[in-house]
Amino acid sequence: MPQRPTIALLTDFGTREGYVAAIKGVILRRLPDATLIDISHEVTAHDVTTGALLLLDVAPYLPPGAVCVGVIDPGVGTARLPLAIECVGRALHLVGPDNGLLFPLASAGEFRAHAITSAAAVAPAISATFHGRDLFAPAAALLAAGATVDQLGPAVPRLVELQLPRPVFEDRRRCGQILRIDRFGNLISNILRSDLPLGVAAEALRFDVGGVIVNGLSLSYGLAAPAALLATVGGFDRIEIAVNGGSAAERLGLVSEMSIPLIVSWD
Amino acid sequence: MPQRPTIALLTDFGTREGYVAAIKGVILRRLPDATLIDISHEVTAHDVTTGALLLLDVAPYLPPGAVCVGVIDPGVGTARLPLAIECVGRALHLVGPDNGLLFPLASAGEFRAHAITSAAAVAPAISATFHGRDLFAPAAALLAAGATVDQLGPAVPRLVELQLPRPVFEDRRRCGQILRIDRFGNLISNILRSDLPLGVAAEALRFDVGGVIVNGLSLSYGLAAPAALLATVGGFDRIEIAVNGGSAAERLGLVSEMSIPLIVSWD
Amino acid sequence: MPQRPTIALLTDFGTREGYVAAIKGVILRRLPDATLIDISHEVTAHDVTTGALLLLDVAPYLPPGAVCVGVIDPGVGTARLPLAIECVGRALHLVGPDNGLLFPLASAGEFRAHAITSAAAVAPAISATFHGRDLFAPAAALLAAGATVDQLGPAVPRLVELQLPRPVFEDRRRCGQILRIDRFGNLISNILRSDLPLGVAAEALRFDVGGVIVNGLSLSYGLAAPAALLATVGGFDRIEIAVNGGSAAERLGLVSEMSIPLIVSWD
């Protein structure tokens, strides 16, 4: 574990209203030495699936011993449980609501989930509408300081599950979809590098993005022809459709990532 | 005081232009061990009132010993004084212009205000247009390192006052207004939980937001009917109008928070 | 050098997608004690020139020993070199692609540029599309921890040069241009305070911004008449056109900073 514990935050709160600052203040009150990383606060409001994807993509790059706090929580103040999760053997803890947000990352390996009920882990007075500050932040500070999940409350035998959209594997085809459009206009899909066949040359792959065909997988954006539409493997190992020096979203006239299929095929 | 001093920043500078980074650099040059918290940099340009509200809402959650730097300062470089304020008994210092921004938080308790004039507290050359970097940042670093406000300059007997909009108390009514629309489309008002009557049941409260009626105060968003318009108490103890799983602003067709009255009444 | 090394980040990645968080995680894995400053992540995608200007403006305010990581890198994964630069005598290192982004700041003084090739400076597996995380972040952590640029790889004798737009000096005139519109609607130009003549009174300067005339240079925004269009020297010593209490962009009907000339003249 590093000397200074790292707590990474993912919310749909935005950064304009001071919500995130209150969470950070509470963490630093309890753990002045914490280092805080913002994963994102700009997830679309209530979009648990995109939040789960971001946690999955970013967590492998956090320092050992990190605690990820995920607060996309439309059910705050209802019966849904607040969770503290140990990702066994991964030097990683997760904190957040039991609504699926943490499930894909937790279930990528062995994990132990506990409900947060300990008086030590919660603020003296808990707002029913802001558990990020009053419940998840204190719990994260405790875990980052060395507490174990069983010290925070009882084991939770079964979590709310969230299945991320995976591509369909067919003979010589993978049928996936676009998940996000990033700031560059790159179309980021749910097809991973590891979903592609071994032993098929990059040039032999064919990509069909909503009816538009791209031939071949480029090693990077700038290795395609200038202004060409291209397919490549993005930083989080996801197949992306991009334009060299431009925006694929603009080229294809897309304003939303909803319901765009991506099919990879080969002969 | 924690081992690592915390300095919290509130500005209307945005995060695109490097202004905030320059402020942070100057603080860290003087106090390498500081922990920095961004309260918000997205306050509407020159909106001193919203900035004052955010300071008031977030400050209680900052670590003891924190210094809040507020820079919403359309009068930068004019005769308005630069202030260093000790919030007596609250383990909190404030730094910023004497234009009302710091007044509501300071005057929530006893305080001592001094003008920043000490040579130690200012950059060697002061830009007339960027006191956040050349004057407030150095002063904040000094205070966070243990200086007292009287070491920074002479006492200021009377500050520019800013009165935040408070609800009007009538018999069985509180007449307030919407202050902000947040990222979720929640309408956040100036009526606090403590403005509501004791001994009146939550179900007996009636909310009139610009002519639309909501009956009852929900404990949280998800406890109202799905997609229902609801009233609840938000994270900073403010009455909010929200939609369970949706956006109240969208539901009510609002694009700006300007001039929307909120009236709470009961029989 | 301060006890806690500072690494400052400039990208065009935005803060929504988790790219910046992955970079920060990698830095903190290698250097848990690092302090991170975000210069900006909102530079327009692929806008190397604006990124270079921001580095130039902000770098003087960073703590001694700082490492600036600049990742505006449309050529990631191509033959363009990854650079580690020592700014000799300036207690500053730069890391980023050899595409001009680092050139104006480096060449403002003596510098030594090396290619990043050392196995110690790169991630075990390098994505061809995310050198910010897999190559520049590790290299920055090494430099911040005390490595020298020659430990990272061989010297690069000649960099890709980027010449920032400078005003043309004519008799009793400086012919420059607007570079950016900031969040306040201020028009920020490439004419520096030091480009103006000594010994000419501020009132004797005349500013022509796209055909609109402003007479005199104000010391600050609030010293002009209320709502007046004015010229002043902004925080980074650049001549700006602004409106006291308002937006110059709005006043002049500008939505883009493209191709707006600014001419300063005097008799």
Q: For residue range C210-236, list pLDDT tens digits in order.
A: 999 999 999 999 999 999 999 999 999
pLDDT, tens digit, 9 for 90 and up, residues C46-88: 999 999 999 999 999 999 999 999 999 999 999 999 999 999 9
Comma-separated ranges of CATH 2.40.30.90 domains in chain B: 168-265
Min Cα distance A88 → chain C (Å) is: 19
How would residue A256 be classed by pLDDT, with cut points 50, 70 and 90?
Answer: confident
Which residue shows structure tokens 């191509």? C78
What pLDDT score does B1 carry? 40
User: In the numeric block, which tokens belong to residue A68?
Assistant: 């990820």
**What is the three-class DSSP state of A173?**
strand
Interface contact A17-B180, CB threshold 8 A: yes
A37 pLDDT exceeds 70? yes
Residues 181-210 of A with CB under 8 A from C: 182-185
User: In the numeric block, which tokens belong to residue B263?
Assistant: 């009236």
What pLDDT score does C256 carry? 75
B110 pLDDT exceeds 70? yes
Give the largest Cα separation in chain C, rounded. 63
Comma-separated ranges of CATH 3.40.50.10790 domains in chain B: 6-151
- Helix H or strand E encompassing C180: strand C173-181
Mean of per-residue pLDDT scores for chain C: 95
How would residue B61 be classed by pLDDT, with cut points 50, 70 and 90?
Answer: very high
Who contacts C32 (Cβ-Cβ below 8 Å, separation ≥6)? A2, A3, A4, A6, A35, A63
> Rounded to the nearest 5 degrees, what angle is found at the Cα of C227, between the Cα atoms of C225 and C230?
65
Phi, psi for residue A106 in degrees, rounded to 5: -60, -50
Mean pLDDT of C32-46: 96
What pLDDT score does C2 carry? 46
- A109 at C interface, C-beta within 8 A: no
Partner chains of C (3+ C-beta pairs under 8 Å): A, B
Mean pLDDT of A100-104: 98
Mean pLDDT of B130-138: 96
Interface contact A3-C75, CB threshold 8 A: no
What pLDDT score does A123 carry? 78
Long-range pairs for C213-220: beta carbons < 8 A, 24 or more residues apart: C214/C241, C219/B77, C219/B128, C220/B76, C220/B77, C220/B78, C220/B128, C220/B129
What pLDDT score does C119 carry? 86
Who contacts B118 (Cβ-Cβ below 8 Å, separation ≥6)? B151, B152, B153
What pLDDT score does C1 carry? 40
- Tell me how crowded residue B46 is: count the other CB atoms within 10 A of its CB: 18
DSSP-derived secondary structure letter, B73: -
Mean of per-residue pLDDT scores for chain B: 95
Number of inter-chain CB pairs under 8 A, B vs C: 111
Among B236, B231, B208, smallest CA distance to B219 is for B231
- Contact between B230 and B242 under an 8 Å Cβ cutoff? The reply is yes
Interface contact C42-B16, CB threshold 8 A: yes
pLDDT, tens digit, 9 for 90 and up, residues B168-187: 999 999 999 999 999 999 99
> Rounded to the nearest 5 degrees, what angle is found at the Cα of A11, between the Cα atoms of A7 and A14?
120
Question: How many Å apart are CA A87 and CA B15, to the nearest integer?
Answer: 34
pLDDT, tens digit, 9 for 90 and up, residues A198-249: 999 999 999 999 999 999 999 999 999 999 999 999 999 999 999 999 999 9
A175 pLDDT exceeds 60? yes
Q: Which CATH number fits domain A6-151: 3.50.50.60, 3.40.50.1000, 3.40.50.10790, 3.40.1260.10?
A: 3.40.50.10790
A111 pLDDT exceeds 50? yes
Interface contact C25-A35, CB threshold 8 A: no
What pLDDT score does C88 carry? 98
User: In the numeric block, which tokens belong to residue C211?
Assistant: 């055909």
B21 pLDDT exceeds 50? yes
> Distances in Å between the alpha carbon of C114 and those of A97, C9, C96, C153, C158?
47, 19, 11, 6, 10
What pLDDT score does A73 carry? 96
User: In the numeric block, which tokens belong to residue A74?
Assistant: 């439309």
- At position B251, the amino acid (one-letter code) is R
* ipTM of the prediction: 0.97
What pLDDT score does B3 carry? 65
Q: What percentage of chain A reaches a pLDDT higher than 70?
A: 99
- Contact between B244 and B224 under an 8 Å Cβ cutoff? The reply is yes
CATH 2.40.30.90 fits domain A168-265: yes
How would residue A3 be classed by pLDDT, with cut points 50, 70 and 90?
Answer: low
Rg (CA), chain A: 20
Residues 28-57 of A with CB under 8 A from C: 35, 37-43, 54, 57
Mean pLDDT of B36-65: 97
Task: Enumerate the β-bridge partners of residue C188.
Answer: C180, C240
C25 pLDDT exceeds 60? yes
A1 pLDDT exceeds 60? no
Question: How many Å apart are CA A170 and CA A167, to the nearest integer?
Answer: 9
What pLDDT score does C134 carry? 96
Interface contact C33-A235, CB threshold 8 A: no
What pLDDT score does B120 carry? 85
B2 pLDDT exceeds 80? no
What pLDDT score does A259 carry? 80
Q: Which residue of B has its CA nearest to C7?
A: B25
How would residue B125 be classed by pLDDT, with cut points 50, 70 and 90?
Answer: confident
What pLDDT score does B121 carry? 84
What pLDDT score does B176 carry? 97
The number of angstroms, rounded, from the C-alpha of C39 to the middle of its chain's C-alpha atoms is 8
Which residue shows structure tokens 């299929």? A261
Exposed (0-12), middle (13-18) or buried (19+): which is A47, by Cβ within 10 Å? middle
Choosing among B47, B129, B136, which should be mutated to test the C contact, i.e. which has the most C CBs within 10 A?
B129
- Tell me how crowded residue C56 is: count the other CB atoms within 10 A of its CB: 16
User: In the numeric block, which tokens belong to residue B2?
Assistant: 């924690």
Question: How many Å apart are CA B250 and CA B174, to the nearest integer?
Answer: 25
C27 pLDDT exceeds 60? yes
A107 pLDDT exceeds 90? yes
Of B4, B223, B236, Cβ closest to residue A78? B223
How would residue A257 be classed by pLDDT, with cut points 50, 70 and 90?
Answer: low
B258 pLDDT exceeds 90? no
Spell out which residues of chain B touch residue C64, defining contact as CB-CB under 8 Å: 29
Choosing among B7, B24, B33, which should be mutated to test the C contact, i.e. which has the most C CBs within 10 A?
B24
C257 pLDDT exceeds 70? no
Mean pLDDT of C154-167: 96
Q: What percentage of chain B reaches a pLDDT higher than 90?
A: 91
B188 pLDDT exceeds 70? yes
